[in-house]
Amino acid sequence: MGSIANAFSSSIGKKLIMGLTGLFLISFLLVHCFLNCFVFFDKTGVLFNEGAHFMATNWIIRAMEVVLMLGLLLHIVQGIRLTLENQAARPVKYAYNDGNANSKWYSRSMGLLGTLLLMFLVVHLSDFWIVSRFTGIEHFNGGTPVDASGHEDLYAVMLAKFSHPWRVILYVLAMISLAYHLLHGFASTFQTMGWNHKKYTPIIKTMGVLFSILIPLIFALMPIAIYFGLGL
Amino acid sequence: MSTGNMNLTLKVWRQKSTKDKGQMVDYKVSEISPDMSFLEMFDVLNEDLITKGDDPIVFDHDCREGICGMCSMFINGRPHGPKDAVTTCQLHMRSFKDGDTIVVEPWRAKAFPVIKDLTVDRSAFDRVIAAGGFISVNTGNAQDANALPIPKAQADAAFEAAACIGCGACVATCKNASAMLFVSAKISQLALLPQGQPERYKRVQNMVAQMDAEGFGNCTNTGACEAECPKGISLENIARMNRDFYAAKFISEEEG
């Protein structure tokens, strides 16, 4: 067992934690994105609220919410730790370093992109999660917390929140940060896990690019669609 | 070949000793032949400095044919300069233009302290090798070359990993000063061959532990090392090292 504990304190083990938590957060993004797509298909919001109701009442989902928070926390703590260690590994900086000659700017800026995403998460969680769990949604919905079919009316909160153009812009910018974070993170996770293979790596890289563009794009379209009243 | 001699401005890192703070100093060099190597240009500059009674610039070099791994200059923001797959000694002045300003710095990493000027102490690499980058065999008569069949692809991959000359360009260019490309090449060249199997899982644990102890940073897969490596060592080696490390730590019962 000593060997296993000591594996996670080594440089490779720390990378593995970063990669596995990252992959877990990627799986969450997929679920979150698909469920939220209900906003495009029902302007009354009943469909979306039903989805949100399922997520809020299903015990597997609720249990996973705790795991998700822990995974996110681990990803953040480990990211800060790695960044500090990596900065300490070069105490004297170069006078001139041409990073763009050999690597992509976003692969060198994961800490910065991650910090932007964390700042967005604070706004995003206080916009919806805190409202739904703690402060209540009545005043977003004319005094009643439920919609026509009796489910908690989170859709009304969405309509109210995304009526402010600054918030729509903020969400779109955050999704651009997410896209670049994923553009490095997705394929990088597999390399860290040791999955570098002549047959599979090109597939993983293509999937990574598609995922990094499509998921943030769909997310970004949600506030835009609501602000402009688009959708079915 | 020659397109006329060049006049250049050099900004070179000067540092008297490990403890000295160091600074960039400007030098003018003139009448530099485009057919000179980068190190020969430094020889000309040093001759000039010695004639003037100044302290010549200290830099590492040995074979000057791209195989020993001694030369180590960070030129215009890149290890071994602007050309791909060459070491500093094989970089020629024709890669620059008359009137250029060239910035020259030593490798920068906590694990590679500057000894003087452009020379850094790379003995951290030696200690990583000493931790397991070898095979333990009793010497005797060389056995027949065909006694151990090795598939061609496997032998080629081991040979490609073994091309690493240990110059440290990977550490120098990595934003985290990580040594993973070097260490993974030294692990792979043995892990890919039958002779490396008996100590395979002990080796990866000990070499990674020594790499961490030396104060190198953690890999974040930017790929800069692979792009700058004068010998084209591939990131596949890092993935192989990771796999061997997981197998050693999580599956094998052997401790490092």
d(CA A152, CA A226): 19
CATH superfamily of B122-251: Alpha-helical ferredoxin (1.10.1060.10)
Query: Mutate which of A94, A100, A108, A189 to test chain B, going by most B C-beta atoms within 10 A?
Result: A94
Report phi then psi at B10, rounded to 5. -110, 135
Nearest to A12 among B105, B236, B242 (CB): B242
Q: DSSP assignment, residue B147?
A: S
H or E element in which residue B149 lies:
none
d(CA B84, CA B233): 12
d(CA A49, CA A55): 10
Contacts of A186 in chain B (CB under 8 A): none
Tell me the pLDDT of chain A (232 aa) as tens digits.
567 888 999 999 999 999 999 999 999 999 999 999 999 999 899 999 999 999 989 999 999 999 999 999 999 999 999 999 999 999 999 999 999 999 999 999 999 999 999 999 999 999 999 988 888 887 777 777 788 888 889 999 999 999 999 999 999 999 999 999 999 999 999 999 999 999 999 999 999 999 999 999 999 999 999 999 988 7
Query: Mutate which of B175, B184, B187, B206 to test chain A, going by most A C-beta atoms within 10 A?
Result: B175
Predicted pLDDT of residue B3: 61
CA distance A186 to chain B (A): 11
H or E element in which residue B213 lies:
helix B200-213
Is pLDDT above 90 for B172? yes
Given a contact cutoff of 8 angstroms between Cβ atoms, the answer to whether B249 and A12 are in contact is no
Proportion of chain B above pLDDT 90, given as a percent: 92
Given a contact cutoff of 8 angstroms between Cβ atoms, the answer to whether A17 and A71 are in contact is no
Predicted pLDDT of residue A82: 97
Predicted pLDDT of residue A1: 53
Can you tell me the mean pLDDT for B58-79?
A: 97
Cβ neighbours of residue A187 closer than 8 Å, sequence gap 6 or more: A201, A204, A205, A208, B221
Predicted pLDDT of residue B1: 46
The 10s digit of each residue's pLDDT in B197-225 is 999 999 999 999 999 999 999 999 999 99
Is pLDDT above 70 for B2? no
| Angle, helices B236-246/B200-213, rounded to nearest 10 degrees | 110
If one compares B107 and B2, the residue with the highest pLDDT of the two is B107
In terms of Cα–Cα distance, which of A132, A122, A97 is closest to B224?
A97
Can you tell me the mean pLDDT for B130-156?
A: 90
Question: Is A188 close to B249, i.e. CB distance below 8 A?
Answer: no
Question: Is A196 close to B240, i.e. CB distance below 8 A?
Answer: yes
Contacts of B180 in chain A (CB under 8 A): 11
Q: Do domains B6-105 and B122-251 have the same CATH topology?
A: no
Can you tell me the mean pLDDT for B63-89?
A: 97
Size of interface A-B (CB pairs under 8 A): 141
In terms of Cα–Cα distance, which of B8, B24, B30 is closest to B106?
B24
As given in the structure block, the two tokens for residue B141 are: 């008569």
Given a contact cutoff of 8 angstroms between Cβ atoms, the answer to whether B224 and B174 are in contact is yes
Contacts of A19 in chain B (CB under 8 A): none
Contacts of B14 in chain A (CB under 8 A): none
Contacts of B187 in chain A (CB under 8 A): none
Q: How far is CA A26 from CA A32, A59, B98, in A?
A: 10, 21, 51
d(CA A209, CA A207): 6
Question: Is A90 close to B220, i.e. CB distance below 8 A?
Answer: no
**Count of CB atoms situated within 10 Å of the CB of B17:** 10
Query: Mutate which of B218, B226, B237, B245 to test chain A, going by most A C-beta atoms within 10 A?
Result: B218
The domain limits of chain B are 6-105, 122-251
Given a contact cutoff of 8 angstroms between Cβ atoms, the answer to whether B76 and B93 are in contact is no
CA distance A4 to chain B (A): 6
Predicted pLDDT of residue A148: 81
CA distance A48 to chain B (A): 38
Nearest to A15 among B209, B219, B256 (CB): B219
Question: Is A95 close to B13, i.e. CB distance below 8 A?
Answer: yes
Say what the pTM is: 0.95
CA distance A214 to chain B (A): 23
Question: Is A96 close to B103, i.e. CB distance below 8 A?
Answer: yes
Is pLDDT above 50 for B173? yes
User: What is the CATH code for B6-105?
Assistant: 3.10.20.30
Question: Is A99 close to B220, i.e. CB distance below 8 A?
Answer: no
Can you tell me the mean pLDDT for B234-254?
A: 95
As a dihedral over the C-alpha atoms of residue B105, residue B108, residue B111, residue B117, rounded to 10 degrees, the angle is 20
Query: Mutate which of B174, B249, B250 to test chain A, going by most A C-beta atoms within 10 A?
Result: B249
- The region of weakest confidence among A213-227, B8-22, B133-147, B159-173 is B133-147
Average pLDDT, chain B: 96
Domains in chain A, please, with CATH? 2-90+105-228 (1.20.1300.10)
Question: Is A101 close to B24, i.e. CB distance below 8 A?
Answer: no
d(CA A227, CA A218): 15
As given in the structure block, the two tokens for residue B174 are: 């990595």
d(CA B124, CA B183): 11
Question: Is B236 close to A196, i.e. CB distance below 8 A?
Answer: yes
* ipTM of predicted assembly, 2 dp: 0.93
Predicted pLDDT of residue B140: 83
